[in-house]
Amino acid sequence: MINHNKYSFIVFIDRDGTIVEDVGYPHKISQLELLPNSKEGLNKIKKSGAVITIISNQSGINRGFFDIEEVNNFNTELLKRINDKNKIIDEIYICPHLEKDQCKCRKPKILNLILAAKKFNIPLTKSIMIGDKKSDIQTGINAKIPTILISSKKLNFGQNFTCKNLKDASIIINKIANKNNWK
Ligand SMILES: [Zn+2]
């Protein structure tokens, strides 16, 4: 267990369609494109005192579209582009399974959130889920934590907040953290 005294809450963030362009199972470095305001938003979220972990369904692995090594290479490149000299994204959790595999880590199931909370020694109650899909919002609802939908469309998946990108999300995150005395 890592004891992060300076961090008191966790922000769980979906990868494809939330941090990077979702081109449909992106896995090659040539497909890696950060969404507008992604990097700036992640920096601001980190400055608010959050542990940041990516929670990503990568069923392309068990579909045979690509293997875990390609996912790891893609994620290493993503970390390189985001982290610079400071560590912004702390950890990446992926689920390789299909729905029929009946695992406990595929969103909207919450095993990977529980594992992250345990690793960083922060109660799951002090966390926020962000994503662009219904399954991301349902993950947050299942974990009983605040949810932010990243979308420019008017969609209602039961989320608490909606905004266009991670920079706008960072403002909402600050408000949630202040309101709950997470700092
Ligand atoms: Zn899984």
pTM: 0.95
Q: In this predicted model, what pLDDT tens digit does every residue of 88-121 receive, in sequence order?
A: 999 999 999 999 999 999 999 999 999 999 999 9
Task: Provide the mean pLDDT of the chain.
Answer: 95
CA atoms within 13 A on the CB side of 140: 26
Average pLDDT (134-162) is: 97
Provide the annotated active-site residues. 14, 16
Q: What is the pLDDT of residues 72-86, one digit of tens each?
A: 999 999 999 999 788
Find the angle CA(151)-CA(145)-CA(170) to the nearest 5 degrees: 50
pLDDT value at 87 more than 80? yes
Q: Using omega within 30 degrees of 0 as the cis cutoff, is the peptide bond preceding 26 cis?
A: no
Return the CATH architecture of domain 9-179: 3-Layer(aba) Sandwich (3.40)
| Cα distances (Å, whole numbers) of residue 180 to 116, 132, 140 | 20, 24, 17
pLDDT, residue 1, reads 47
Cα 99 to averaged position of ligand 1 atoms, centre (Å) = 8
Give 98 Cα–ligand 1 centroid separation in angstroms. Answer: 7
160: DSSP letter: S
